[in-house]
Structure 1
Amino acid sequence: MKLIKEEDIKMVDFKIVDINGQFRHVTIPASQFTVDTMKDGIGFDASNYGYAVVEKSDMVFIPDLDTAVMDPYCEISTLSITGNAMIIDYPENRPLDQYPRNIVRAAENYMKDSGIADTMLILPEFEFHMFDDAAWSVKPYEISANLDTEQAYWNSDSQGQGNVVAHQKHYHMAKPFDGTYECRSEMCLELEKMGIEIKYHHPEVGAAGQFEIEPMLGQMSKMADASMMIKYVIHNTALKYGKVATFMPKPVYGEAGNGMHVHMLLLKDGKPVFSDDEGYSHLSREAHYFIGGLLKHIASLCALTNPSTNSFKRLVPGFEAPVTVGYATSNRSAVIRIPAYAKTPELRRFEIRNPDATCNPYLCYAAILMAGLDGIKNKIDPEKNGWGPYDMNLYSLSDKEKAKLTQLPTRLDDALDALEADHDYLTAGGVFPLHLIENFIALKRKECLQLAAIPHPGEFDRYFNL
């Protein structure tokens, strides 16, 4: 309230996360923000967020003041606050167990209670495209999508200066070929104003406007909040520059897709749990068991880390996206990569490469932690289970050799089947409520059925003249 007065803030905007990991919001005049707002909260209909049946949908949103930041995209001075969803009860409201922020905190508490570690640090890499134009149509008489960015290779005949990037040759390209440098720098500066430290930004491989912004390592629950704001800032800054940003995993056929690789490490009393000079790639036994847990549950994890049908169009060979259930050092074709450059004990870690930013980051990060902890608890050794280490290019193996490997799911339906069969590691300690998992699966099944019923332009190309 002091900040509101000092900064002459006119509006307070409450951002709420739905089951798909998208921001919704409700705004009140700053004059109405009182102590009672923190106690009584803001009422909303949770059924429209995917969390509750209609007859039990009245919930309240309680702001978390630690998340308060100025929203730079509002012309009227606005304070933005995230928070938690609560079930209306007497004498006190109680947390909605399905709400993503509550789940990620429950996972952290489960980790602390296990005695294995007290902190999980993660670093998600945000890959995205920025287009000058994006349009699509799904009608009975028209099914189409059109994308364009002026520096894409397909514009070589129309750009008089020849200022285009060759197919799949955009990685770290400098000006004049990096035409959105200022836009991305502004994104990073705005994020740092919000307290989100940024490691770097750069052009990615895809020539049709693909980029990456990478934050610094951060505590898992705080990074989940930060992930939402990173996407919010990228979308809104792109719009300010006349662009449109998308985290869609595979928007451009024949070019690299957008992943959200997640680096991770555990700490206990401030000391690294994953470091051991004698272990493979200097990783400890606990680190290998954590990897084992991820690999054992990777098919069901995919339902939460890759929850779109488009996700699986990215997870194909040839574009540095993982397809094989395995681990290795410096190998981008395996689903778990151990970066060779993380040499110091406090930075030794690994990354899981299949996630993408269509996920709900709270559910994604919590599920990753729960799978890894299950691996440590049950001493799941990835090498003994035949998951590596694969220190070779898995894309170039012969068909006979590839047949010996386990592959990631190739469809969202398959990942949902796996989650239906394998979710005990998520419900351990009551972290993921079973009704949330069942509700999530039902929502995604419906999504798959709806999309499967739509004719695809590629089908016209293949079948129209038969």
Structure 2
Amino acid sequence: MVNTVDIKKLCEEKNIRMIDFKMTDLDGRWRHITIPVERFNDDIFVYGIGFDGSNYGYAAVEKSDMVFIPDPSTAVVDPFTEVPTLTMCGDVCVIGKENTPFDQYPRNVALRAMDYMKAEDIADDMLIGPEFEFHLFDNVSYMVEQNKTAFTVDTRQAAWNSGKESADNAGYQVPGKGGYHIAAPHDVAYSLRSKMCMYMEDWGVDVKYHHHEVGGSGQMEIEVELGNMVDMADKTMIIKYIIKNAAVQDGRTATFMPKPIYKEAGNGMHVHMLLMKDGEPIFYDENGYSGLSKTAHYFIGGLLKHVASLCAFTNPSTNSFKRLVPGYEAPVTIGYATSNRSAVIRIPAYAKSPSSKRFELRNPDATANPYYAYAAILMAGLDGIKNQIDPEAHGWGPYDCNLYDLPEEEKAKIQSLPKTLDEALDALEADHDYLTAGGVFPEKLIEIWLKRKREECLEISQIPHPVEFQKYYDL
């Protein structure tokens, strides 16, 4: 167990001058506060560091002042600071006679979801493995003014630069949708991704592999090994921080936007998952469909029953739904199958052993607050197990065919994911009892989430789009 003595010893060894504390806001961004190492003492782990929670987007409490309690076990030297800095994550509490965990704080929601699963005696642990897709660009610019709305992104590897007459054009552009596993010299970010992975390993994140993704205009992917759900939410924050800062360090820029490039593959965050009980996996049955147990099927049933409302947390941006369209290996239908990337739940055929038998949810993307998204996924699955929701009995598959290629009359019979964030928010408003079970998601959190996201949708819907000028200016 890491304690204050260990932290002070580490500071001496690494010549640390600053200690940084990272907190997660409602949207899933890190915010931070930093103190000189001389101000660090034991009281910080008891009384915490005060801050105004209303500025982080949380619903108001009797007093907006909260305290951040750092977790010393998360201490690591930040590789991106000029001044040697030790950084820590932790939890947020409400100030009172005794500090109590703030029920809306993302990490506390994820911890309660795990506690609920254990209290219901369903499983002891949830293991997940997210896939991180992102784009790397050489530069980006955007503006939203009354008289001008525009964005521009560029990367030298994009096909649109093949005709560029300049000394630095070597002619190794990547065709649209032609980037999957492409090698150097086309893969201009190969060394940078390796560097990102080394930063991750140093920070305690176990990397599975990295590669260039389908999108020819700078789409990349890094996959990590399976880990505990709450720990993986922590690591999701770390991974996004590393990728973005390593890109800037290299003179580039990274984005996890689901659909930054028109007519190119979008960025998902597919989530692989399995449950463990008494040290044994409970999703495996050699006689079940695709090697999955009844418990796994019920978990899938819960996910599919609630997937429309889940999208409000797993796909919480208007841009998310520009990715969830046919033709780009992104799911659009509510169903499950083996080795089928057109279904929202895919069972990897290569995962055959009991310890690796799992499935992936393919609709999430990394605009999600990982703590809320992973907790919501778990709560939907637990609801499926508790109520024995059989996905096959509900007509959700298995669909062992390409759902994009079905005749239109057959497609019409299959339920679809929400097509907009507004639709997902409507679903969440109507269907969230599974989230509030056991007090895991506070009703107040869902209320503020709905209000905040509806305001985003309204704001964006009122901004004229360049394509509207193309379509309607001359009418």
Short-chain TM bin: over 0.9
Residue 366 (structure 1) aligned with residue 372 (structure 2): no
Amino acid at match of 2:329: E
1:35 to 42, 49, 69: 42
> Where does residue 162 of structure 1 map in the other structure?
171
Q: Distance in 1 between matches of 2:232 and 2:435?
A: 20
Instruction: Output aligned runs, 1:216-231, within 5 Å.
Output: 216-231=225-240
Residue 26 (structure 1) aligned with residue 33 (structure 2): yes
* 1:180-202 per-position Cα deviation (integer Å, ceiling 9, x unaligned): 11111010000000111000010
Q: Distance in 1 between matches of 2:10 and 2:47?
A: 21
User: What secondary structure, in the 3-state scheme, does the structure 2 residue paired with 1:123 have?
Assistant: strand
Q: Distance in 2 between matches of 1:373 and 1:179?
A: 43
Gaps of 5+ in 2: 1-7
Instruction: Output aligned runs, 1:194-205, within 5 Å.
Output: 194-205=203-214
> Where does residue 71 of structure 1 map in the other structure?
78
Amino acid at match of 1:51: Y
The farther-off stretch of 55-64 and 390-399 is: 55-64
Gaps of 5+ in 1: none
Q: Distance in 2 between matches of 1:461 and 1:69?
A: 51
2:59–2:445 contact (8 Å) kept in structure 1: no
Q: Distance in 2 between matches of 1:168 and 1:432?
A: 39
Q: Distance in 1 between matches of 2:267 and 2:13?
A: 41
* Identity over aligned pairs, percent: 63
> Where does residue 150 of structure 1 map in the other structure?
156
> Where does residue 116 of structure 1 map in the other structure?
122
> Where does residue 457 of structure 1 map in the other structure?
466
* 1:192-224 per-position Cα deviation (integer Å, ceiling 9, x unaligned): 001110000100000000000111000001000
> Where does residue 275 of structure 1 map in the other structure?
284
Q: Distance in 2 between matches of 1:13 and 1:460?
A: 47
Cα drift, residue 461 of structure 1? 1.1
* 1:23-50 per-position Cα deviation (integer Å, ceiling 9, x unaligned): 0000000111100111111111100111
Cα drift, residue 304 of structure 1? 0.2
Cα drift, residue 114 of structure 1? 1.1
Cα drift, residue 278 of structure 1? 0.5
Instruction: Output aligned runs, 1:20-419, within 5 Å.
Output: 20-53=27-60, 56-90=63-97, 92-158=98-164, 160-419=169-428
Q: Distance in 2 between matches of 1:299 and 1:407?
A: 9
* 1:33-76 per-position Cα deviation (integer Å, ceiling 9, x unaligned): 10011111111110011113286210000001111111000011
* 1:435-466 per-position Cα deviation (integer Å, ceiling 9, x unaligned): 00111110001111111110011111111111
> Where does residue 12 of structure 1 map in the other structure?
19
Amino acid at match of 1:76: V
The farther-off stretch of 158-167 and 241-250 is: 158-167
Structure 1: which 4+ aligned runs deviate by more than 3 Å?
none
> Where does residue 451 of structure 2 map in the other structure?
442
Cα drift, residue 158 of structure 1? 1.2
Q: Distance in 1 between matches of 2:367 and 2:94?
A: 27
* 1:57-96 per-position Cα deviation (integer Å, ceiling 9, x unaligned): 1000000111111100001110010011110000x11000
Q: Distance in 2 between matches of 1:298 and 1:241?
A: 38
Cα drift, residue 123 of structure 1? 0.2
* 1:265-305 per-position Cα deviation (integer Å, ceiling 9, x unaligned): 00001101000000000000000000000000000000000
User: How many pairs does the alignment contain?
Assistant: 465
Cα drift, residue 5 of structure 1? 2.1
The farther-off stretch of 49-58 and 321-330 is: 49-58
Q: Distance in 2 between matches of 1:453 and 1:307?
A: 18
* 1:165-194 per-position Cα deviation (integer Å, ceiling 9, x unaligned): 111100000000010111110100000001
Q: Distance in 2 between matches of 1:334 and 1:69?
A: 39
2:284–2:291 contact (8 Å) kept in structure 1: yes
Amino acid at match of 1:334: A
Q: Distance in 1 between matches of 2:205 and 2:85?
A: 19
Q: Distance in 2 between matches of 1:55 and 1:269?
A: 42
* 1:210-259 per-position Cα deviation (integer Å, ceiling 9, x unaligned): 00011100000100000000000000000011110000000000000000
Q: Distance in 2 between matches of 1:53 and 1:223?
A: 28
- Give the root-mean-square deviation of aligned CA atoms: 0.8
Q: TM-score, normalised by structure 2?
A: 0.97
User: What secondary structure, in the 3-state scheme, does the structure 1 residue paired with 2:242 have?
Assistant: helix
2:335–2:399 contact (8 Å) kept in structure 1: yes
User: What secondary structure, in the 3-state scheme, does the structure 1 residue paired with 2:193 have?
Assistant: helix
2:284–2:354 contact (8 Å) kept in structure 1: yes
User: What secondary structure, in the 3-state scheme, does the structure 2 residue paired with 1:75 have?
Assistant: coil
Q: TM-score, normalised by structure 1?
A: 0.99
User: What secondary structure, in the 3-state scheme, does the structure 2 residue paired with 1:124 have?
Assistant: strand
